[in-house]
Chains A and B, each alone.
Chain A
């Protein structure tokens, strides 16, 4: 769908040259939600702006459905831009226009006749959940509502791709979640490819299928979100994953907690890796085997493709029963590690 090949962007600042995007290659599949995460200055925003040619690349290619958009000029470029919707951190709405007029703006640019325009605007208002706010000006809307207008506007011309540049970074956590849910919803309903630029791991975790980690203009690590999360290779990726869940053992208090636990049975570390993890695993185990399970510490998070995290439990009971329980858990595709064995 989107193929980026050896893309480089160099900014000249006086005599100095700053490489914002450095020989970057990337493939994004049709219909997926692809996340690009990095700290500020990593070059993520420049990358998005290169995708819709708000910036001219220094070298390299960007193929969208086989068309190299770096080669387009004038009218053809403008036409191509209509097929790429974009939403922004600060919404960038026209304050002189109402909700419906803002959403109609890209349709006016695409010269859609007035009747059709009104129909499309109403569809979009329903899609993003803004009914009743048609005549409101941006100044009368909350941040979340403004971003909904931004999303409706970006979708007006039925683009193939939606670029989201830190679209939730100016919103509070609850509104962020609502907007993220809306993006997933749109992705499912319309099958549109979404590229999400963010510095928040939470956003990636909640909505992305695949993720690329960006540092110094390069992609240092990429893959399915669950793989990158459970097995981060680069230092920077590990730091991002830590944002979400610090392994309990790493926290100072844990050894103290462990020392205070009665020496009996086994202390296990269960590593959940999404996919087919049974959510009622623990109660399952305690029903099937005559063992007591005591949860000592947990750090869990929900991703788009399942539960992810670490659970530390003490399993007490007969030695053979504990072993059977252990095997049962292993078969549920959960990694098990014995921290302390007092059987």
Chain B
């Protein structure tokens, strides 16, 4: 096995990198919003929460647990009909998005719940004592106070998502994963596999760096 770079198609590599970024960024944005919604719902309906409600808490928790339990590769297959209905195709980066989002949102939702539980109960109580509405408490206390943890949570989630895009790529979504698998592994072109891996690692580093930077900036404790 030699790395002679003869198999490398730079144009394809750039396109694949772009696809990976595309899938990751869109799904991260959607997971951030959905996960915060799920996390808030879990937190607020929990025992002693502002919207304490056992039934809703049970339903949301069950949904989260079920989707976290399904292995991602199976989830993509299970979601084929849904994806087809939504996107009109089961191939290409867009087709990967429903599975990426539905796969990662419950995971992030749990991280959000943990972040919210870390907030000092006294602060929430102080806001209540000032006459704050629940919506005010959500937007002016819960989210700002847990923001550094929410950001480090989405950083961890985005790295998991980069891994998921590679898996999705292997069954037709495109991106670096697909390029490494089809143009590299299947044709025994290990230079392609190698460079793809390096790029994926660099993308992960980049996300981790940016996430850590923002989280640190936000943390005033």
Contact = CB atoms under 8 A, between A and B. Distances in A.
B140 interface: yes
Contact of B133 (A78, A105, A106): A78
B123 A78 contact: no
Which of A77, A93, A95, A96 gathers the greatest number of chain B CB atoms within 10 Å? Answer: A96
Given A96-B147, A109-B136, A90 B131 contact: no
Contact of B123 (A92, A106, A139): A92
B130 A109 contact: yes
A84 interface: yes
Nearest to A138: B220
A94 interface: yes
Contacts of B126: 86, 88, 92-93
A70 interface: no
A77 B125 CA distance: 15
B221 interface: yes
Contact of B122 (A77, A79, A90, A106): A90
A253 to B, nearest CB: 45
A95 B220 contact: yes
A97 B30 CA distance: 27
B123 A81 contact: no
A96 B145 contact: yes
A84 B123 CA distance: 16
Contacts of B128: 54, 81
Contacts of B221: 95, 139
A80 B122 CA distance: 20
Interface in B199-221: 218, 220-221
Interface string B160-196: 0000000000000000000000000000000000000
Would you call the interface of chain B mostly helix, strand, loop, or mixed? helix
B60 interface: no
A328 interface: no
Contacts of A318: none
A39 interface: no
By size class, the interface of chain B is 20 to 34
A89 B127 CA distance: 15
Contacts of B129: 52, 54, 81, 84, 86
Interface string B139-151: 0110011010000
Contact of A139 (B130, B132, B133, B220): B220
B220 to A, nearest CB: 4
A88 B121 CA distance: 12
A94 B122 contact: no
B120 interface: yes
B130 A79 contact: no
Nearest to A48: B129
B141 A94 contact: yes
B144 A92 contact: no
A92 B120 contact: yes
B145 A94 contact: yes
A168 interface: no
A78 B84 CA distance: 49
A106 B130 contact: yes
A312 B210 CA distance: 73
B46 to A, nearest CB: 18
B132 A78 contact: yes
Contacts of B140: 105, 108
A110 interface: yes
Given A97-B144, A137-B220, A139-B220, A92 B125 contact: yes
A303 interface: no
A109 to B, nearest CB: 5
Contacts of A105: 127, 130, 140
Interface in A66-89: 77-82, 84, 86, 88
A109 B147 contact: no
A79 B131 CA distance: 6
B24 to A, nearest CB: 28
Given A92-B122, A95-B221, A82 B141 contact: no
Contacts of A80: 131
Contacts of A95: 145, 220-221
Interface string A311-331: 000000000000000000000
B144 A96 contact: yes
Nearest to A139: B221
A54 B124 CA distance: 11
B124 to A, nearest CB: 9
B48 to A, nearest CB: 13
Interface string A237-265: 00000000000000000000000000000
A85 to B, nearest CB: 8
Contact of A82 (B120, B122, B130, B147): B130
Interface in A209-233: none
B50 to A, nearest CB: 12
Q: What 4 pairs across the A-B complex have the smallest Cβ distances?
A: A81-B131, A78-B131, A92-B126, A92-B122
Given A88-B122, A96-B144, 5 more contacts: A79-B131, A81-B128, A97-B144, A137-B220, A139-B221
9 contacts: A54-B128, A79-B131, A80-B131, A90-B122, A92-B123, A94-B145, A95-B220, A105-B130, A138-B220
